[in-house]
Chains A and B, each alone.
Chain A
Amino acid sequence: MEQTAMTSEGNVLSREPMLSVRQLVKRFGGLTAVNKVDMDVYPGEVVGLVGDNAAGKSTLIKCIAGVHQPEEGEIYFEGRRVHFSHPIEARDAHIETIYQDLALAGNLNVGANIFMGREIKKPFLGGLVKVLDEEFMLQESRKLLEQLKIHIPDFTQEIETLSGGQRQAVAIARAVYWKAKLMIMDEPTNNLGVVEQRQVLDLVRELKSQGVPVILISHTLPDVFAVTDRIVVMHRGRKVTDKKTSETDSQEIVQYMVGALDDNRVDA
């Protein structure tokens, strides 16, 4: 599958952001969950989005993914202004979001999940009706998982009999198959074992090497430092810093997370 022809080196040099968020505001009643946030994501870049509980990370990415509609501000994707009024519209623009458990149907097998909602059909009875092309979908799934180096012994197994890490891998694989141009992951390693967490991080690197930019929300700073190119910290709805991963360390990031440091402080 051709994600993009660019190399990961070239991507970082590319100065046209894939995603631009400008002065985004989202309120819930009296609470301003996201407050005038600016954020850019460049092709092939992994951006870590961190912050304390209730900092507004999930709300921000839900605005990008079409789950919420922001009150103010603009979102540009591939240079064009976008307004997603439904998650499906964001998906149609190839923005894929991975949540911990929301994306898969546990009673269906791997192939059925990867093709959920976009099943491949073939003619039956001389084209009178269309039936599912199980064979094709299974083969494609097998190829895809091999390519992403995901190991699942039995493809006909129902998803709910797989481990959490395997399920997360299937969800990511599906996004890749449908040519994600931006992958958003909200705490994808939550509830996973240590080995499985590492496997998901490997997948993030694999995506990066294929040129797919990733926004990764995580509370585990070592993970964030291990895979990201840039780290954005939020505190009480505001973006407090935006630093190259190579130019900071976890102590500094923690200071931003607790509000002790703030690059955008406006003295009132």
Chain B
Amino acid sequence: MAVAKGSAPQSGEPSKRGDRRRQLVLTLSRVWAWAFLGLLIAFFVITVPLSSNGSVNFLTVRNSQNILMAIVSVLLLGLGQTFVIITAGIDLSVGHMMSLASVVSALVLREVFNAGVPLFPAVAIGLLAALATAALVGFLQGSIIARLKVPAFIVTLGGGFVLRGVALLMSDNSTVIGLPPGVRDYGNESLMYFIPGDSGGLYFFNRPEVSGELVRSMDRILPYPVIIAAIVVILMAFLLRRTAFGRHTYAIGGNQEAALRAGIPVDRHLIQLYMLSASTAAVAGFLSTLRFTAGSAVIGDPLLMSSIAAVIIGGVSLAGGAGSIIGTVIGALIVAVLTTGLVMLNVQAFWQFIVIGIVIIVAVLIDQSRDLIVSRMRSGA
């Protein structure tokens, strides 16, 4: 390795071999999450039928859609969080932000609809209200973090409590009900429907008019919340990978001082990130309102830990500077597959927690040993 004018004395055979080894370690550490996800699925595909004497299968259309539905909220909470953690920050308020967004969108949707606005625009206005709330919350929290230099952990911890209180206050200590029944379709219907057997088939966009046994055997493929989450995933991946905004996010995580000296408006960028984080949580809250035809002031809180777990299993470093959207998606899938599979194996809930906890720690260990090996190779080169 050399800055050399002319030839580089040290770059002979050994360092080339070192390069190849380093490359191998990097590649392995990148694919481990995929490999682990594949192994998990294979494991459940084999064990689930065995444990039920063949009456239940893991990889069915219905179960795959259930898993996708199950990850929507955790994933959305993790998407904005991915940006924040890449800058070595943290947003502990996303769970309560999701609850508040659920309450706000339900209230606004209901009032606007009752005022005579048709259903679809009313739903859209509900979403906008949730996003506006998130923008405000993110702006306030981000400003305190970036401008007043209060640690993100503290601000979002306190902020989360405040949001929780506001959500309970606005929902009158419980749930917001009385939403127009049509809302249910937005949160539960899907792009395609599949009915197995001779009298069935594949249907697009419109739910087939069937009854009895056929309804029960009907599978919903790609429910709307899954599609919306997928769109947000694509947008976030684009933002992080392809735009200057994403590049600045990595730069701040890599070396905040250097980013500042390079002219990146660090404070403003951090504020925008906390607004983004609150916003993806708000989408999760909005979707849960559609799904349950009600706003809930407590829906998000239990999901916070799982969402951070997904982000970390996906390879985002709490030290900042590293991570990707696809990693977070895989992390969320791992958490969901693990939970669903263990439930289908009739494993009791406490074992699920224990297993997920171990997976988090092992995932971080793998990332750290990668960093260690790479830096050792560098100093050895």
Contacts and interface: CB of A to CB of B under 8 A. Distances in A.
Interface residues of A, number: 43
B146 interface: no
Interface stretch (A38-46, A146-154, A210-218, A228-236): A146-154
Interface string A98-120: 00001111111000100011110
A141 interface: no
A102 B247 contact: no
A252 to B, nearest CB: 31
A165 interface: yes
A54 interface: no
Contact of B2 (A103, A106, A165): A165
B258 A104 contact: yes
B261 interface: yes
Contacts of B19: 153-154
B254 A119 contact: no
Nearest to B16: A153
A129 interface: yes
A129 B235 CA distance: 12
Given A119-B244, A132-B243, A200-B3, A103 B258 contact: yes
Interface string A200-222: 10110000000000000000000
Contacts, number: 115
A105 B248 CA distance: 10
Nearest to B8: A151
Interface string B1-42: 111111011110000000100100000000000000000000
B263 A117 contact: yes
A166 B2 contact: yes
Interface in A53-108: 87-88, 91-92, 97, 102-108
Q: How large, as a class, is the contact surface on chain B?
A: 35 or more
Nearest to A159: B254
Given A88-B263, A103-B258, A151 B3 contact: yes
A143 interface: no
B255 A106 contact: yes
A244 interface: no
Interface in B216-266: 242-244, 247-248, 250-251, 253-255, 257-264
A105 B254 contact: yes
A132 B244 contact: yes
A132 B250 CA distance: 14
Contacts of A87: 260-261
18 contacts: A88-B260, A91-B261, A104-B254, A105-B250, A105-B258, A106-B254, A107-B321, A112-B250, A117-B251, A117-B259, A129-B243, A162-B378, A163-B3, A163-B378, A169-B3, A195-B4, A196-B2, A202-B5
